[in-house]
Structure 1
Amino acid sequence: MSPVLHKFPTVSELTKNFINQLIIVQNKAIEERGKFIIGLSGGSIINVLHALVQPEFHGLIHWSKWLIFFCDERLVPLDDLTNSTYAQFKEKVLDNLKTEEGPVVYTINENLISFQEYDKIAQEYETLIVDNVINNNKFTGAHGKFDLLLLGCGPDGHTCSIFPGETHKYLIDNKDDKYVLYCHDSPKPPPNRITMTFKTLGSTHHIWFIAMGSSKVDILKDIFISKNTNLPCVKVNQSFNNIVEWFVDESSVKGLPL
């Protein structure tokens, strides 16, 4: 069974349909559990989520019910707009909310960065996930899962901060069965990050990828046509195919038989 792939002629159409589908998932989660628990990645996903604050969606996003986590985060100060996923999300979305009561947002402990206590940052973020999602029956009932995780796809086939290759194989192997790990020596700067693991990716009801633009053609060919199993994105597709969906624009899959 292959993941569902949604293809749209333009980024605008992708964004509109993506947000409409997100609202459906949000409403179902709130109806069933009173909260919408979501994990975000950075990059183009933040740009798509900027549409949430547009007038056409006012009143449809129930921000006070959202619990927001980050699928990966760069270990930089939370006001670093160049590198911090939180800072970018804050600028694009949180700072533009037209509501008095916003979401609960779980960030890294930036106080530990200057001490280079990167493993501890990962451990603390894992505790946030376990306490507020996995073991929190107040919101999650018997499920203990995220409602939705939003992932990106790098040109090397990485997702979250799980990179291909021997250097970062420990992130896939996850020998200590962690929900969050410290990613050191990232091939993409900055070098120090934390990332959700495959254990966390298996603890959600939905995994949605967003891939846009002609620069994605080659890697999407490797993922969907060649199905290169060395790529983390392919491993996600194969491990969780029944809950994985891809949202792509026409230019990102141009010429591919998809």
Structure 2
Amino acid sequence: MAKDAGDDGNVKLTYVYADGQYGNFDVKLGKMPLYSTADDGLVVDDYFSGAQVGFGKDLKVTLEAGRWNLENANDHISGYDEDSHEYKNLDKDHKDHAASYQGAELNYGPNKLRLGASYRHFNSNAFKNVEGYRNGSASDDANIWSVGAGYKFDHNWDLFGSFAQNTEADNYDTAHSIQLSYKGTDIANKGTWGAYAAYRYLGQNVALMPTYDTAHTAHLNEKGWEVGASYVPFTNVYTAIEYFDGKDLATDRDAKTLFGRVSFFF
């Protein structure tokens, strides 16, 4: 538990936390999901170690504080090199790759309309080493604001859009997404399916680790269109295929990703 690894170093702890729920108030302590709900995962979808408190019913307030491992950030932030298997932007001497983190979210969504807003602050020397992060001065902070809005027209159609900006970065500091979804899957019901179409713009210095499967950590800083579909061929078997077609923001070169998944649930 102290090293977050097994005796051979190959076992890692994904998450474990205590969860206390008291009516419309709840508190979590430990290593838990870090998900930017307000923007539906545009900024981050991972795990952090610390504390989270939430309160409210129709208007939900969430406060978080702790540490986030920057090894899980996109490769532009961490500086991960596939040849040397090193994180060039992170602390090489002390091997402390965690950024201090504080965040606050507001989410409202009792009916068909849902709205969200959030602020997240990360602090780490890694940001000083990101190429082109600041023009003329180094900064070890990331201050990220995001908003999101969605509307569920009926049982089938759902539209959601989000925007985020890192006010501390000078380059690739914005991200936005808009997605139209149709139906959806339920692993307990054979034959259910869903599909979506979306446009993504993912600046590397604000979309630190977005939730999208086509935006792998090594393939961020892109813009383009994405389509996907999911299907349940058998009970507790989930399949999905997604395709992204766009451009790299820095080089304007073509960027394409095809992603497939088959999941079995027990």
| Structure with the larger RCO, 1 or 2 (CA within 8 Å, 6+ apart) | 1
Compute the TM-score of the two structures, normalised by the length of structure 2.
0.26
Compute the TM-score of the two structures, normalised by the length of structure 1.
0.27
Tell me which protein shows more helix as a share of its residues.
1
Tell me which protein shows more strand as a share of its residues.
2
